[in-house]
């Protein structure tokens, strides 16, 4: 059976150790908008597809509502995953026992055995405790989300559903699972979810990833660092360019930023003149390594690697958590951007 390859970058940050162990079936597919059939997936269907050569992650969706079950099934399958479904609690447990999935998307209100009890059962079983669970709740049900996280859910998804958010949260959980077990994430977003100029993730992806990474950092007591990189003289560069934009400079800077971070890190284009980098499981000391690398490449001009006139004025802000004043991923981003304002 195929396994994902190890990160070949050859370097990491101080204090971050990633131990490779075998993990099959987590080759994460692209996230498309294709409409697929309404058929209900079975474990046999997924096995047949894998024997035929598909190595996408196996997602088990448990939801008592047939409409929601079909919608979640379609959203996951359109994103390139193998999908099987279950309509009640006992069926979820039976399918997990038959073949543990790479991810379980579980409604809190499952019939006969609810989602919370299923979580307790899974997390009490040493052979099943590592299955990541994405808990589905009503949008305003904060208590259900908190209870699920306390019981061991990796993340949550709220109704009403947004297809993009379904696919992004599934991708985040699977990416983190690969990072934990192998140290090998999905290094770049799928082509249809990248900024068209720089190839970085989009602002909407950033917001979801911030929420997820901060929740995860708090639960496990891990550090999380955020870096914002701003092109301070973007208007001047745009005025001097042939197309009247700073897109060429941003594309070149984006490429340079990718060379300064690990594959496990996230790069997003936050605004027209800004990038955001998320460094999971990285404290201030580890982030300092990246900052020094960036400073060196800015000074030499290597960061953009070409002739840009006027010379780019790159500003950098950084913030790490745990920090008392950082209560959420949004707080982390705001405070990171604020450090640039103080320096300017």
**pLDDT for residue 243:** 85
Asked if residues 43 and 99 have their Cβ atoms less than 8 Å apart, the reply is: yes
pLDDT digits 0-9 by tens, 312-342: 999 999 999 999 899 999 999 999 999 986 5
| H or E element at residue 40 | none
Q: How many Cα atoms sit within 13 Å of 133 on the Cβ side? A: 29
Check pLDDT > 70 for residue 60.
yes
Which residues 6+ apart lie within 8 Å of 180 measured at CB? Answer: none
**Of 24-33, 116-125, 182-191, which has the strongest mean pLDDT?**
116-125
Q: What is the pLDDT of residue 180?
A: 62
- Per-domain residue ranges of the chain: 43-181, 192-343
Q: Do domains 43-181 and 192-343 have the same CATH topology?
A: no
Identify the pLDDT of residue 162: 81
One-character DSSP codes across 135-202:
EEEETT-HHHHHHHHHHT-SEEEEESP-HHHHHHHHHHHHHHHHHHHTS----S--GGGB-TTT-PBP
Quote the mean pLDDT of the chain. Answer: 80
pLDDT at 23: 27
Residue 152 has pLDDT above 50, yes or no: yes
pLDDT at 136 over 80: yes
Residues in the chain: 344
Q: What confidence tens digit (pLDDT) does each residue in 222-270 have? A: 899 999 999 999 999 999 988 888 999 999 999 999 988 887 788 999 9
Give the pTM.
Answer: 0.60
* DSSP letter assigned to residue 6: P
* Residue 136 phi, psi dihedral angles, 5° rounding: -100, 125
Most confident of the following: 41-50, 84-93, 191-200 = 84-93
Specify which residues 228 forms β-bridges with: 276, 317
pLDDT mean over 176-188: 58
Give Cα 340 distance to the centre of its chain.
25
Q: CATH classification of 43-181 is 3.40.50.2300, yes or no? A: yes
Can you say whether the dihedral through the CA atoms of 147, 140, 210, 334 is positive or negative?
negative
What does CATH list as the number for 192-343?
3.30.70.270
Asked whether 237 and 310 are in contact (CB, 8 A), the reply is yes
Distance CA 256, CA 274 (A): 14
Residue 216 has pLDDT above 90, yes or no: no
Element (H, E) at 115: helix 115-124
């Amino acid at each position: 059976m195929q396994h994902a390859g190890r990160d070949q970058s050859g370097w990491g940050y101080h204090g971050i150790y990633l131990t490779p162990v075998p993990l099959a079936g987590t080759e994460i597919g692209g996230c498309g908008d294709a409409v697929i059939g309404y058929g209900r997936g079975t474990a046999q269907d997924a096995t047949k597809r894998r024997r035929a050569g598909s190595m996408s992650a196996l997602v088990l969706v448990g939801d008592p509502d047939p409409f929601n079950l079909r919608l979640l099934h379609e959203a996951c399958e359109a994103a390139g995953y193998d999908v099987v479904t279950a309509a009640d609690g006992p069926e979820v447990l039976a399918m997990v026992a038959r073949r543990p999935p790479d991810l379980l998307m579980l409604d809190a209100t499952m019939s006969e055995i609810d989602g919370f009890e299923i979580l307790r059962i899974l997390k009490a079983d040493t052979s099943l405790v590592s299955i990541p669970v994405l808990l589905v709740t009503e949008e305003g049900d904060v208590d259900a989300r908190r209870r699920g996280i306390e019981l061991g859910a990796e993340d949550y998804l709220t109704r009403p559903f947004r297809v993009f958010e379904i696919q992004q949260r599934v991708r985040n959980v699977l990416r983190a699972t690969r990072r934990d077990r192998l140290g090998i994430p999905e290094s770049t977003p799928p082509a249809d979810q990248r900024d068209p100029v720089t190839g970085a993730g989009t602002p909407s992806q950033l917001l979801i990833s911030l929420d997820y990474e901060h929740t995860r950092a708090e639960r496990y007591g891990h550090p999380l660092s955020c870096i914002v990189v701003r092109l301070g003289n973007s208007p001047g560069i745009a005025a001097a360019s042939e197309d009247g934009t700073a897109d060429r400079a941003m594309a070149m800077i984006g490429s340079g930023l990718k060379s300064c971070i690990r594959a496990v890190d996230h790069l997003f284009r936050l605004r027209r003149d800004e990038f955001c980098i998320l460094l999971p499981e990285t404290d201030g000391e580890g982030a300092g390594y990246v900052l020094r690398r960036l400073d060196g490449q800015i000074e030499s001009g290597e960061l953009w690697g070409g002739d840009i006139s006027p010379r780019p004025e790159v500003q950098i802000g950084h913030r790490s958590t745990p920090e008392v004043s950082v209560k959420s991923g949004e707080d982390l981003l705001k405070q990171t951007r604020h450090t640039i304002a103080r320096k300017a």
